[in-house]
Structure 1
Amino acid sequence: MQSPDLDIFDLRLLAALQRAGRSPNAALAETVGLSASQVSRRLSRLEADGVIAGYAALLRPEAVGLTVMAFSNVSLERHAEELVQGFEQAVTARPEILDCWSVTGEADFVLRIVAADLKAFADFLSLRVLRIPGVRSVRSSIVLHRIKQTTALPLDHVGG
């Protein structure tokens, strides 16, 4: 996807949305120095261009009973297309897997997984992940403390 031309007002608008996504257009307009109608048009364009992928409420996992978060490195037996596609379909179908990245290095994929407790996590790995055809090994790290987590992307490298 080619990056659309973003001017200083687009960047200010995107930064404001990343800080407070529920801000009404009037508040965003005041923050970025435009009218509410200009903000509305820009938001529509940024959405249509795929710069804004969507909107979401960010939940605290522990507040909804998900007390364990882990990162699991998964290696496949082979990189045959049908195994990779099957793996991708299997992880896409599991809501416990928040993120899945194909990576370089010792593992083929890194998963970010949430679970209610350690037993639920262990059961999920053994009954779900390890049973996906082609999975050779899984090495997991349990998160002890979250030091930093953000969904905001840095925008200062974008010339406007």
Structure 2
Amino acid sequence: MSLESPVLDATDHLLLQMLERDAHLTHARLAEPLHLSPSAVSRRVQRLEAAGAILGYGARINPQVSGKTTLAFIEIRLASQREAVLEEFERAVQACPAVCECHLMTGEADYLLRVAVADTADYERVYRKHIAALPHVVSIKSAFAMRSLKMP
């Protein structure tokens, strides 16, 4: 990934929006609304990948199929904001398979985690085995999503 942010023009931004909505679009299909040739789109995509603007490609999995229908949002407060404490916590979170997202936050919580689990019993297992075992944690607050309206 490039150390500097790539300079993006309006076409790059539109291309990124289209890919974010559907990464399976062919270069020919992307080219139409951008008024470019497929080869020009291919070059732009390669440049955006090389510059680190595109971090990767993935699939959104239906929670009903994966069995992970319950989302928990967990606010974590740490004992300290020292660099070593943050790094140790972040390494431990990276090793926790149930954590889908982890964000360093402003405000009362130091981190916000998004965890996908099958149900509350599965959450209890994840909580006991992984979340409560995270280093330097002084406070944990959990909230469950009742319904998801818009997801990445």
Fold match (TM-score > 0.5): yes
User: How far apart in 2 are the matches of 1:72 and 1:29?
Assistant: 41
- RMSD between aligned residues: 1.5
| Counterpart contact for 2:92–2:135, Cα < 8 Å | no
Matches within 5 A, 1:77-156: 77-150=79-152
Aligned to 2:69: 67
What is the one-letter code of the residue matched to 2:83? E
Aligned structure 1 segments of 4 or more residues deviating by more than 3 angstroms: none
Residue 11 of structure 2 corresponds to residue 3 of structure 1: no
What letter corresponds to residue 74 of structure 2 in structure 1?
A: S
By relative contact order (CA 8 Å, sep 6+), the higher-ranking structure is: 1
Task: Decide whether the 8 Å contact of 2:74 with 2:113 is kept in 1.
Answer: yes
Whether contact under 8 Å (1:103, 1:109) holds in the other structure is yes
Partner AA of 2:62 in structure 1: R
Aligned with 1:144: secondary structure?
Answer: coil
String of CA shifts for 1:75-129, please: whole Å, max 9, x gaps.
Answer: 1122333332221111101121011111111111100001111011012112211
Residue-pair matches, total: 150
TM-score (norm 1): 0.86
Q: Which residue of 1 aligns with 2:26?
A: 24
> Which sections of structure 2, spanning at least 5 residues, go unmatched?
none
Task: Judge conservation of contact 2:77–2:137 (CA < 8 Å) in 1.
Answer: yes
Offset, 1:24: 0.9
Structure 1 unaligned residues grouped into runs of 5+: 151-160
After TM superposition, give the deviation of residue 2 of structure 1 in Å: 3.7
